A and B are shown apart, each in its own frame.
Chain A
Amino acid sequence: MSNQEKLLTMTGISKSFGKAVKALDNVQFELNAGEIHALLGENGAGKSTLIKVLTGVEERDKGEITLDGKTIHPRSTDEAQKVGISTVYQEVNLCPNLSVAENIYIGRAPKTKFGGMDWKKMNADASKLLSGFGLNLNVQANLDNYSVAIQQMIAIARASDIKAKVLILDEPTSSLSQAEVNKLFEVMKKLKAEGMGIIFVTHFLDQVYEVTDRITVLRNGAYVGTYNTSDLPRMELVSKMIGKDYAALNKSVLDSKAEKKGSDKGEPFVKLDNVSHQGTINNIDMDIHKGEVLGLSGLLGSGRSETARVIFGLDSVSEGELKIKGEKVNFKHPIDAIRKDIAFCPEDRKTDGIIGDLSIRDNIVLALQTKKGLFKKISKKEAQILADKYIEQLEIKTPNADQLIKNLSGGNQQKVILARWLATNPELLMLDEPTRGIDVGTKAEIQKIVIDLASEGMAVLFISSELDEEIRCCQKIIVLRDMQQAGEVSDEEISQSAVMEIMAGGDNA
Chain B
Amino acid sequence: MKNKLSKWSQNQAFWPIVIFLLIILINSIMTGGDFLKITMVDGHFYGRIIDIFRNGGKLMILAAGMTMVLATGGTDISVGSVMAISGAIACSIIEGNLLPSLNGSVPAAIVLAICAGIICGLWNGFLVSKIQIQPIVATMILLVAGRGIAQLITNGKIITINSDAYYFINGGYILGLPFPLYIVIFLVGTLLLFVHRTAFGLFLESIGCNPKASKFAGIKVSGYLLAIYTISGAFAAVAGLIESAGIKGADCNNAGLNIEMDAILAVAIGGTNLMGGRFNILSSVVGALIVQSITTTVYALGVPAAYIRVLKALLIIVICLSQSDRFKQALAKAFASRKRREAAV
Direct contact of A and B (CB under 8 A): yes
A interface residues with partner B (beta carbon < 8 Å)? 314, 333-335, 338, 344, 346, 351-358, 362, 365-367, 369-378, 420
B residues with a Cβ closer than 8 A to A are 197-200, 202-203, 205-206, 209-210, 212-220, 273, 277-278
In angstroms, how far is the closest chain A Cβ from the Cβ of B103?
40
Query: Contacts A374-B198, A377-B199; is A357 near B277 (CB within 8 Å)?
Result: yes
Write out the residue numbers on chain B whose beta carbons fall within 8 Å of the beta carbon of A374: 198-200, 203
Partner of B209, one of A356, A365, A370: A356
Instruction: Kindly report which residue of chain A lies nearest to residue B215, judged by CB atoms.
Output: A334
- With contact pairs A355-B209, A357-B278, A362-B205 given, residues A375 and B218 touching in the complex (Cβ less than 8 Å): no
Q: Which residues of B contact A365 (CB under 8 A)?
A: 202
Which chain B residue lies CB-closest to A335? B218
**Separation of A490 and B94 alpha carbons in the complex (Å):** 78
B278 contacts A370, CB within 8 Å? no
| Complex: A358 Cα to B199 Cα, angstroms | 14
Q: How far is the CA of A500 from the CA of B19 in the complex (A)?
A: 67
Excluding A357-B209, A369-B202, 11 further A-B contacts by CB distance (< 8 Å) are A333-B218, A338-B218, A351-B212, A354-B213, A355-B209, A355-B214, A355-B217, A362-B206, A370-B218, A374-B198, A378-B199
Chain A residue with minimal CB distance to B197?
Answer: A377
Contact (A351, B202) CB under 8 Å given A335-B218, A335-B219, A357-B277: no
> Are B210 and A356 in contact, CB atoms less than 8 angstroms apart?
yes
Q: Which of B205, B206, B215, B216 counts the most A-chain CB atoms under 10 A from its CB?
A: B216
Residues A371 and B209 in contact in the complex (CB < 8 Å), given A357-B277, A362-B202, A366-B202: no
Interchain residue pairs with CB less than 8 A apart (23) = A314-B216, A333-B218, A333-B220, A334-B215, A334-B218, A335-B220, A344-B216, A351-B212, A352-B216, A354-B210, A355-B209, A355-B213, A357-B273, A357-B277, A369-B199, A370-B217, A373-B199, A374-B198, A374-B199, A375-B199, A377-B197, A378-B199, A420-B217
Q: Which of B200, B217, B273 sits near A366, CB closer than 8 Å?
A: B217
Task: Give B323 Cβ to nearest chain A Cβ, in Å.
Answer: 12
State whether A352 touches B212 (Cβ < 8 A). yes
* Nearest CB of chain B from residue A377's CB, rounded to whole Å: 5
A357 and B198 alpha carbons, distance in the complex (Å)? 20
C-alpha gap A335/B277 in the complex (Å): 22
Closest to B278 in A: A357
What residues of chain A lie closer than 8 Å to B220, measured between beta carbons?
333, 335
Across the interface, which residues of A come within 8 angstroms of B212, CB to CB? 351-352
Residue of B nearest to A365 (CB): B202
Cα distance A377–B194 in the bound complex, in angstroms: 11
- Which chain A residues lie closer than 8 Å to B198 at the CB level? 374-375, 377
Shortest distance between the CB of A306 and any CB in chain B (Å): 15
Main secondary structure of the interface of B (DSSP, over half): helix
Interface pair B219/A358, CB less than 8 Å apart: no
A433 to chain B, nearest CB (A): 14
A50 → chain B, closest Cβ, in Å?
24
Q: Are A353 and B213 in contact (CB under 8 A)?
A: yes
With A334-B216, A334-B218, A338-B218 known to touch, is A351 a contact of B200 (CB < 8 Å)? no
Chain B residues lying within 8 Å of A373, measured Cβ to Cβ, are 199
Query: Which among B199, B216, B277, B278 is the interface contact of A346 at CB below 8 angstroms?
Result: B216
CB distance from B280 to the nearest CB of A (A): 14
Beta-carbon contact of A370 and B216 below 8 Å:
no
Given known A-B contacts A369-B199, A377-B199, A358 and B206 have beta carbons under 8 A apart: yes
CB-based nearest A residue for B224: A374
Question: Which residues of A have CB within 8 Å of B199?
Answer: 369-370, 372-378
Interchain CA distance A353-B215 in the complex, whole Å: 10
CB distance from A364 to the nearest CB of B (A): 11
Q: Which chain A positions have C-beta within 8 A of B216?
A: 314, 334, 344, 346, 352-353
Contacts of B214 in A (CB 8 A): 355, 366
Which residues from chain B contact A344 at a C-beta distance below 8 Å?
A: 216
How many whole Å from A362's CB to the nearest CB in chain B?
A: 6
CA distance A335 to B220 in the complex (A): 8
Q: Which chain B residues border A358 with CB–CB below 8 Å?
A: 205-206, 209, 277-278
Min CB distance B252 to A, Å, is 38
List chain A residues, Cβ under 8 A from B202.
362, 365-366, 369
Nearest A residue (CB) for B214:
A355
A371 surroundings in chain B (CB, below 8 A):
218
A265 vs B43: C-alpha distance when bound (angstroms): 81
- Is A355 within 8 A of B210, CB to CB? yes
Question: B209 to nearest A CB, angstroms?
Answer: 4
Please, how many angstroms separate the alpha-carbon atoms of A344 and B213 in the complex?
11
Whole-angstrom CA separation of A365 from B273 in the bound complex: 23
Q: Are B206 and A355 in contact, with the CB atoms below 8 A?
A: yes
* A370 and B219 contacting across the interface, CB-CB below 8 Å: yes
**CA of A296 to CA of B183, assembled, Å:** 58
Q: Is the CB of B219 within 8 A of A352?
A: no
Bound CA span A314–B203, Å: 19
User: Chain B residues with Cβ under 8 A from A375's Cβ?
Assistant: 198-199
Taking a contact as CB atoms under 8 Å apart, the answer to whether A352 and B203 are in contact is no
User: Min CB distance, A414 to chain B, in Å?
Assistant: 13
C-alpha gap A307/B307 in the complex (Å): 59
B217 contacts across to A, CB distance below 8 A: 334, 355, 366-367, 370, 420
Asked if B219 and A351 sit within 8 Å, CB to CB, the answer is no
Contact of B206 among A338, A366, A372 (CB under 8 A): A366
Complex: A113 Cα to B217 Cα, angstroms: 57
Contact of B213 among A352, A369, A372 (CB under 8 A): A352
Complex CA–CA separation, A367 to B203 (angstroms): 10
Residue numbers in B under 8 Å from A352 (CB-CB):
212-213, 216
Q: What is the bound-complex CA distance between A366 and B205, given in angstroms?
A: 11
Within the assembled complex, what's the spacing in Å between the Cα atoms of A377 and B210?
A: 21
Distance of B335 from chain A, by nearest CB (Å): 19
Tell me the minimal C-beta distance from B226 to chain A in angstroms. 14
Given the complex, which residues of A lie within 8 Å of B277, measured CB to CB?
357-358
B10 CB to closest chain A CB (Å) equals: 11
- The minimal Cβ–Cβ distance linking B24 to chain A, given in whole angstroms, is 33
Shortest beta-carbon distance, A153 to chain B, in Å? 29
Contacts of A366 in B (CB 8 A): 202, 206, 214, 217, 219
For A334, list chain B residues within 8 Å (CB). Answer: 215-218
**6 closest pairs, A vs B, by CB?**
A370-B218, A335-B218, A338-B218, A357-B277, A357-B209, A355-B209
CA distance A353 to B214 in the complex (A): 8
Q: How far is the CB of A389 from chain B (nearest CB, A)?
A: 19
Minimum CB distance partner of A406 in chain B: B209
With contacts A377-B197, A377-B198 taken as known, whether A367 is within 8 angstroms of B218 at the C-beta atoms is yes
